[in-house]
Amino acid sequence: MAEEARTKTAALTPRSSHLQVGVALLVGLMMLCFVLTSGGPHNFFSKIPDSAPFTTNKSQLLRTTSTPAACSCLPNSVMLKGFVPKGQYKEVVQRRAKEYQSYKIRKSSTDTTRLFASSNSPLQYPIQGFVVMPMTPTHIPDLRLFPERRSNYKVNLKVSKGILTINSPTKQSSVTESNNQTELTIVSTSPVTVNFLLANMLYTSSSYHINTGDFVSFRFEKHEAVFPVTIKQPHVPVLWDIGTDINSRVTITTMTSPPFSNTKALVESIRYYYPTIKIFIADDINKRRTFSGPNVEQYFMPQAKGLFAGRNLVLSQLTTKYFLWVDDTFMFTETTKIEKFVEVMEANPELDVVGGSLEEIPFYMSMFYEEGDDDEGGCLHMKFGAKFHSLPAYPHCSLVSGVVNFFLARTDAVRRVGFDPNIRKTGHPELFMDGLGSLMVASCNDPQNMSINLQPQLDQDYLNRKYRNPEYDEYDYRYPIYFLKNHLKCLTAA
């Protein structure tokens, strides 16, 4: 039925000069919301540091992490601490520092610890991929010694968060355990015996933790190797029943705002092409208007709870693998084919979000984040219109950091990041800021299949929507949020 609808007359897609005015207004407003502040044509991605220089350090164990350096803010950056009320600044900084230290503990990983190996070592050991379940004895794979001939062979292994045991000891050697089994020494006159014992070495973590790690020090004479152990509780798979058609795979989500005629027009345009697909509408308006119909669900909130609270609410109610977010000022046309979004997502399981085009124009951005030091915080650089590279088999789609308010997303992936309810009025890039490093995002420039339009009457109505669009001087309300929640020193956009 959807394909038949697309062959009908374009009654829902009129064009006029007023529409172009609306597009210009929306694009300007989106760019303001999207990049937050104007900036010059800087290439932020040239700021990425070169890889670490080659080191000739002979020590194989090098865990020292250099002290984080302050990140660099460009001349046109927004310095966020200046937006924190002076009377609250000291207290806010203290809370921020405490939360950041807690965050670092939760996110710490053995994967980020630097390990260096010297050349010509007689030690064989697993470089990566040694994963154990918490408190479960597990063989250490591929431990071996390849020494030159000697009268005696002695190897030593040491851990810090677990114990070492040997599954099949032998009388042809001496095995010594010390420090509550965190250290184990093998001495034998035969390298074959040493390798037999190493092949039967077990590691067991000492305490229960669902995601942590340890290091094993493996020493023979002057040679030392250090390799990581990942201690991880396996996940129980959570799968989605995608059903047999688009209606069981995707829910369309939006939030209503005055004038309600916009939402009504959006729903009508959706129903023109997708007569039975689910539509979820969040509503925080005091003067409520009910949108009824098959598979239309409206979720009411207290007045002015805000954009992201509404998005979170409908997100919490989804039962489909994907959701399509659209603004209530948009309208479906014959070029709005949800199936194409799903096709890209299904062909690229690592993707979490796929954005389309507005009025056949793609809008996207890329971000470069410098972690900075613990005191001042990080620097986030955003570049509007910047992308990374195209997707395999989909040259019209490119990887980016953020997209416009027309995107298909995996429900479970966005739930893990969430929409910050503190973003009440204007807000969009916050989802992608919070999801940087968690959400894999792509933007597709396919105007014949993955595009949506603005409603033609927006030249007047959109200007008057003060409920969602505050005056420009109100945009700064987000900066103190970025300062504390995102531990940011400054924000730059271009």
Residue boundaries of the structural domains of the chain: 2-35+241-493, 123-232
| pLDDT for the residue numbered 1 | 52
Mean pLDDT for 329-333 is 96
Answer whether CATH 2.60.40 is correct for domain 123-232.
yes
The candidate with the shortest Cα–Cα distance to 155, out of 214, 203, 222, is 222
**Collapsing DSSP states into helix, strand and coil, what is residue 326?**
strand
Cβ-based neighbours of 94, under 8 Å, separated by 6 or more: none
The candidate with the shortest Cα–Cα distance to 354, out of 450, 443, 428, is 443
Taking CA 303 as the corner, what is the angle to CA 294 and CA 264, rounded to the nearest 5 degrees? 35
Angstrom distance (rounded) from CA 183 to CA 163: 8
**Rg for the chain, CA atoms, rounded:** 28
DSSP summary character for residue 193: H
Mean pLDDT for 113-132 is 86
| pLDDT for the residue numbered 156 | 97
Q: How many CA atoms lie within 13 A of 7 on its CB side?
A: 4
Phi-psi domain of 135 (left: phi exceeds 0; alpha: psi -120 through 50; beta: other) = left
Mean pLDDT for 161-177 is 85
| pLDDT for the residue numbered 470 | 55
**Collapsing DSSP states into helix, strand and coil, what is residue 154?**
strand
Mean pLDDT for 70-78 is 91
**Collapsing DSSP states into helix, strand and coil, what is residue 379?**
strand
Cα-to-chain-centroid distance, residue 147? 46
| pLDDT for the residue numbered 279 | 97
Q: Provide the pLDDT confidence category of residue 36 given band limits of 50, 70 and 90.
A: very low
Q: Which residue has the higher pLDDT, 64 or 51?
A: 64
Nearest 10 degrees: Cα torsion 252, 258, 260, 263 = -20
| pLDDT for the residue numbered 50 | 34
Q: Which two tokens stand for residue 221?
A: 């004479």
Mean pLDDT of the chain: 84
Q: Provide the pLDDT confidence category of residue 161 given band limits of 50, 70 and 90.
A: very high
| pLDDT for the residue numbered 230 | 94
Q: Which residue has the higher pLDDT, 231 or 457?
A: 231
Q: Provide the pLDDT confidence category of residue 66 given band limits of 50, 70 and 90.
A: low
Whether the pLDDT of residue 134 is over 60: the answer is yes
Which DSSP string corresponds to 241-307? ---SSGGGTEEEEEE--SSHHHHHHHHHHHHHH-TT-EEEEEE--SS-----STTEEEEE-STT--H
Q: Provide the pLDDT confidence category of residue 48 given band limits of 50, 70 and 90.
A: very low
Q: Provide the pLDDT confidence category of residue 177 given band limits of 50, 70 and 90.
A: confident
Asked if residues 367 and 35 have their Cβ atoms less than 8 Å apart, the reply is no
Angstrom distance (rounded) from CA 400 to CA 302: 35
Q: Which residue has the higher pLDDT, 294 or 29?
A: 294
The candidate with the shortest Cα–Cα distance to 225, out of 177, 169, 155, is 155
Place of tokens 């394909």: 3
Phi and psi at 76, nearest 5°, equal -100, 15
| pLDDT for the residue numbered 112 | 65
Q: Provide the pLDDT confidence category of residue 34 given band limits of 50, 70 and 90.
A: very low
Threshold 0.95, pTM exceeds: no
| pLDDT for the residue numbered 68 | 76
Cα-to-chain-centroid distance, residue 91? 29
For residue 286, the tally of other CB atoms under 10 A from its CB is 7
Which whole-number Å values give the CA distances from 112 to 66, 74, 438, in the listed order?
12, 28, 16
Q: What percent of the chain has pLDDT over 70?
A: 82
Mean pLDDT for 200-206 is 96
Beta bridge partners of 378: 488
Q: Provide the pLDDT confidence category of residue 458 given band limits of 50, 70 and 90.
A: low
Q: In this structure, which CATH number among 1.20.210.10, 3.40.50.300, 3.90.550.10, 3.20.10.10 belongs to the domain 2-35+241-493?
A: 3.90.550.10
Q: Which residue has the higher pLDDT, 323 or 11?
A: 323
| pLDDT for the residue numbered 105 | 81
Whether the pLDDT of residue 251 is over 90: the answer is yes
| pLDDT for the residue numbered 474 | 55
- The number of residues making up the chain comes to 494
Q: Which two tokens stand for residue 69?
A: 């350096």
Angstrom distance (rounded) from CA 157 to CA 160: 11
Cβ-based neighbours of 107, under 8 Å, separated by 6 or more: none
| pLDDT for the residue numbered 106 | 78
| Strand 330-331 relative to strand 353-355, pairing | unpaired
Averaging pLDDT over each range in 8-17, 394-403, 474-483, which range is the top one? 394-403
| pLDDT for the residue numbered 53 | 31
For residue 214, the tally of other CB atoms under 10 A from its CB is 20
Mean pLDDT for 265-274 is 96
**Per-residue pLDDT reduced to its tens digit, 405-454:** 999 999 999 999 999 999 887 778 999 999 999 999 999 999 999 999 99
Q: Provide the pLDDT confidence category of residue 43 given band limits of 50, 70 and 90.
A: very low
- Assess whether the previous peptide bond of 421 is cis (omega < 30° from 0): no
